[in-house]
Structure 1
Amino acid sequence: MDAFSHIRVIISMILGFGVAQLLKNTVKLIDHPTKRKSIYWLHLCWVFYVFILIILFWWWEHRLEMVQDWNFFTYLFLIIYTTLYYILCVLIFPDDINEYGGYKDYFFSRKNWFFFFQILVFVIDFGDSLLKGKDYFQSLHWTYPARNLLHIALCVVGIKSSNEKVQIGIFFILLVFDILFIIQNYLH
């Protein structure tokens, strides 16, 4: 098995664990309605958003076939980068929130970590895109760096603000921008 095929398997495995975390806990909300804590719609919006981020990441990593020089540090970089997505999944939807009053309480108590790991994802994403080559990076148009920088800036705001309306605004701005990004780069 070549390096590209091997890293593709590892990435798929790690991302699969993340998607399983999101799906398992979403189904638990339906499957055990009397045992669940109070559902918070904004929390579920972020669950959906992380799911979309993982799908986008999986799609982006298809371009790893462009990488010519594989070495240990490239391999390690990609495994660490992928692991950040798994961490996001566990942070946004843990298996147990019994020590919290509900998902709203949980979200606001852990939002700093959630947004911090999103910042890491989008900073490291620049390195991931450059790994695929200058031509690939340039093919993403101006919207790619704008998307990442906007995401980083709004996550900083997310860390600093506990205002529910600000949190809702962050979610909708990022969702709309990512939908436009998908349309521009992947649906033509």
Structure 2
Amino acid sequence: MAIPSVTSPEIFQHVRIIMGMVLGLSMTRLLNGLVRIIQHPGQTRIYPVHIGWVLTLLLTLVHFWWWEFWLIGLPTWTFQVYLFLILYAISLFFLSAFLLPDSISDYTGYEDFFISRRKWFFGFFGLTIIFDLIDTLIKGHAHLAMFGGEYWFRVPLYLVLCGTAIYSANRLFHKAFVTFALLYEVTYIVRFFDTLN
């Protein structure tokens, strides 16, 4: 049976639905976790670095949905591109789940939990940086050129920081990393993603 002829924007609308479902699950997990912390502040000791990553990831999820709109101009869609985008969205869900699991009763608080599970979190965070690079290349040379040389500095810097975070439990480093990541994400959005023109 032949598939009817469809345009790239129509395919994008179709793909966007499943991506939205996965991103919706990610945001729900983060928001529910934050509300649980607010509702029961004495139940589990919070850790500012952990909360910083929750806020950074929330902003990243919103940003992801915004920047993926550029895919509407993709001239050709393949199953491989579709599968890649779904895996990218799933990796963001994993990050959400690593930050706010169903229970942390095996730990003394969010600091103990975050430092103990940092290898998983930063391993997947590094993976999303690689996915971002592939995603940017899929969108074409003009899209990549928009970021100038900064992009080729950003990717290896984040990979080095993630690698360091995997192996180091130094609290000062983790505080500096999350502060940098949150502030950089804000400036990155303002400088490059304010409009989709």
Q: Residue in 1 aligned with 2:49?
A: 42
Structure 2 residue 88 is matched with structure 1 residue 81: yes
What is the TM-score with the length of structure 1 in the denominator? 0.93
| Higher RCO (C-alpha under 8 Å, 6+ residues apart) | 2
With 49-58 and 82-91 compared, the bigger mean Cα shift is at 49-58
Per-residue CA deviation, residues 31-74 of structure 1 (Å, 9 max, x unaligned), is: 2345x211111111111111111122111111111211111111
- Secondary structure class of the residue paired with 2:151: helix
1:52 aligns with 2:59: yes
2:167 to 142, 152, 160: 160
Q: Is the 8 A contact 2:12 2:72 kept in 1?
A: yes
RMSD: 1.5
Write out aligned runs for 1:34-183 (5 A): 34=42, 36-183=43-190
CA distance in 2, matches of 1:12, 1:142: 31
SS of 2:162's equivalent?
A: helix
2:38 aligned partner: 30
Residue 154 of structure 1 deviates from its aligned partner by: 0.8
Larger Rg: 2
3-state DSSP class of the match of 2:117? helix
Counterpart CA distance in 2 for 1:33 and 1:159 is: 28
Q: Please, which runs of 5 or more residues in structure 2 have no aligned partner?
A: 1-5
> Does the C-alpha gap of structure 1 residues 176 and 122 become closer, same or farther in structure 2, counting only changes over 3 Å?
same
User: 1:169 corresponds to which letter in structure 2?
Assistant: A
Q: Match of 2:28, as an amino acid?
A: A
TM-score in terms of structure 2 length = 0.89
2:52/2:179 contact within 8 Å kept = no
The answer on whether the counterparts of 1:66 and 1:133 sit within 8 Å (CA) in structure 2 is no
**Aligned partner letter, 1:80:** L
Aligned length: 187
1:15/1:85 contact within 8 Å kept: yes
CA distance in 1: counterparts of 2:183 and 2:34, whole angstroms:
23
In structure 2, give the amino acid aligned to 1:106.
Answer: F
Cα deviation code 1:91-135 (max 9, x no counterpart): 011121111111111000110110000100001111111111111
Tell me, what secondary structure is at the counterpart of 2:169?
coil
The 4+ residue runs of structure 1 with deviation greater than 3 A are none
Rounded Cα–Cα distance in structure 1 between residues aligned with 2:29 and 2:60 = 14
1:153 alignment partner AA? V
Moved more, 40-49 or 25-34: 25-34
How far apart are the structure 2 equivalents of 1:11 and 1:146? 28
Residues 1:124 and 1:40: Cα distance change in structure 2 (over 3 Å): same
